[in-house]
Amino acid sequence: ASEVTVVADTGYSNGEHAVLCEQDKITAIVPRPETVNPKGSEYFSRDRFSYDHESDSWCCPAGETLSLFKTSRTKQNKEYTSRACGS
């Protein structure tokens, strides 16, 4: 069986699509609708973050690096975090 990975916009960021992808063994890379800095008042939309494929990390609009924190058991979801802002 071949592996399939898809990238989609926030319109597909919901439980229904996640379940369908998991059932079909599809790895979905979908941003959450919004990302927030819990220590600040500004919300950052997904498009303000830049991804570094080589280090598998993200850079936020404030210049901080978000490193891979955990991967789901199915390896379909990844969570990134930074100590700089608690995100």
pTM exceeding the 0.75 threshold for the entire prediction: no
> What single letter denotes the amino acid at residue 68?
L
Do 43 and 31 meet the contact criterion of CB atoms below 8 Å apart?
A: no
pLDDT per residue rounded down to tens, the chain (87 residues): 578 888 887 777 767 777 888 888 888 888 766 655 555 556 677 778 899 999 999 998 888 899 988 888 877 788 888 887 755
